[in-house]
A and B are shown apart, each in its own frame.
Chain A
């Protein structure tokens, strides 16, 4: 792109603009999508400080989605969906230049955990750092892992008589803990998955929205309407709040796993972890419309994680352990 001056910028050059206090510079920077902000870290040391965190939080108020896509192994690519809805490719982290298949294992204090074969890497796409970690090391993750479980995948566990529970794994105690579920109100139809009527409403996905544990569930017999709830106070049953309802989901096959992924301005993105087709669905809260995000490179298998913009290169030192390659990882810091 060429940076020729237009007539407007020529007149601008003649006038000296007034000096602007930092509070106004912050107001202006807050309006910029993150991909522009990243460049402006080069303006000066002070600007870099303002844009990076801590302590100012221009970046941490935004979220974006990191996607790892791999149709077949050597072709994996990393992309992010920005807060303005744009998609850009992120270069592979240096230690993984020649790695094969890559999976997103979860998030840890703003760092993305990448699994490549046997190795686990902690990666910050903005700080450009990527560090290899031993899975056994003990001060890695403070984030508790949550699952939506059903009879079929909990096996001989004590919870096996119940289905569609949320369980949380507490690494400090090595125990699974039940998370309170929202009440099914009596006016709704109680439909069971696979004929299990006792489960109440069909739960289709578990995720994190605005730092709260979030659940999506079918609320009609035809399974066309999806309700999204958040637990505003972690661990408090009464704090489950309906966020919105997406009526008439047209893409039937999505409903298998519809995971609330993140809010980017007025969009909420969902991610389906199905066996065949994976895609990201955007639901516009204001426009009440839905659309599909094009998946880069037409890949059929993708991982994704939604993270706050952050420039941290080190995880905070806390107790905890990473347990294997687990599918869901909340970025809410949960009190044990």
Chain B
């Protein structure tokens, strides 16, 4: 334990759901509370850590985020903010969903927050019918019930189908 803290260049291996392995510096991996807890509980860093829920494409993105945030000093908050918005800028919904799930699984709070915010920004102008499809929510209202809920907040629906 003590020796692993002294050696900052120590690396560990993460394995994505589709079998790709990623060599990660330890200080980068510590951005994830999940990995931090695993390392703290004396889980040998020589082992490959499998992440069965995260595919290689998503894991690469997550690690890119972690590296940037691990390397930047705290004084460069402005730089990090612009990195964050650039990072998510052209990401499609599917990638965002994978990212938010990965951030949740790996317990990376900052990434979870910005990905959730980005999804919220993307869905806010969509009609609720479309939001239903995006989240695979079954519409359990009868048409009458739905109309009643809608009527309660008629004014929030201005301009929406």
Contact = CB atoms under 8 A, between A and B. Distances in A.
Nearest to B114: A31
- The range of chain A's interface size is 35 or more
Given A24-B104, A33-B124, A43 B132 contact: yes
Given A17-B94, A20-B100, A31-B120, A42 B136 contact: no
Contact of A31 (B116, B131, B139): B116
A42 B141 contact: yes
Interface string A22-63: 011101111111011011111111111000000000000000
Interface of B: 92-94, 97-98, 100-101, 104, 112-113, 116-117, 119-121, 123-125, 127-128, 130-132, 134-141, 145-146, 149-157, 159-161
B97 A40 contact: no
Given A17-B93, A25-B135, A39 B155 contact: no
A318 B157 CA distance: 35
19 contacts: A11-B92, A12-B92, A17-B97, A17-B135, A18-B97, A18-B101, A20-B97, A23-B104, A24-B104, A32-B123, A35-B156, A40-B131, A41-B152, A41-B153, A43-B137, A44-B137, A47-B137, A126-B152, A128-B151
A248 interface: no
A330 B48 CA distance: 58
Given A11-B92, A44-B138, A1 B97 contact: no
A214 to B, nearest CB: 29
Contact of B154 (A18, A27, A35, A91): A91
Contact of A44 (B112, B141, B150, B159): B141
A44 B100 contact: no
A46 B131 CA distance: 14
A127 interface: yes
Given A28-B116, A38-B156, A128-B151, A15 B94 contact: yes
B155 A89 contact: yes
A315 to B, nearest CB: 18
Given A20-B135, A126-B152, A128-B151, A12 B123 contact: no
Interface of A: 1, 3, 8, 11-12, 15, 17-21, 23-25, 27-33, 35-36, 38-48, 88-91, 126-128
Contacts, number: 109
Contacts of A33: 124
A18 to B, nearest CB: 5
B149 A41 contact: yes
B124 A46 contact: no
Contacts of A43: 128, 131-132, 135, 137, 139
- Which of A24, A35, A48: most chain B CB closer than 10 A? A24
Nearest to B93: A12
Contacts of B130: 3
A20 B135 CA distance: 7
B117 A31 contact: yes
A31 B123 CA distance: 11
Contacts of B136: 17, 19
B132 A39 contact: no
Given A15-B93, A31-B121, A43-B131, 4 more contacts: A3-B127, A17-B134, A30-B116, A40-B131
Contacts of B113: 27
A12 B145 CA distance: 29
Contacts of A12: 92-94, 134
Contact of B160 (A15, A39, A88): A39
A325 to B, nearest CB: 27
Contact of B152 (A3, A17, A44, A127): A127
B119, B125, B141, B154 interface centre (most CB from chain A within 10 Å):
B119
Contacts of A17: 93-94, 97, 134-136
Contact of B112 (A15, A27, A38, A41): A27
A178 B100 CA distance: 52
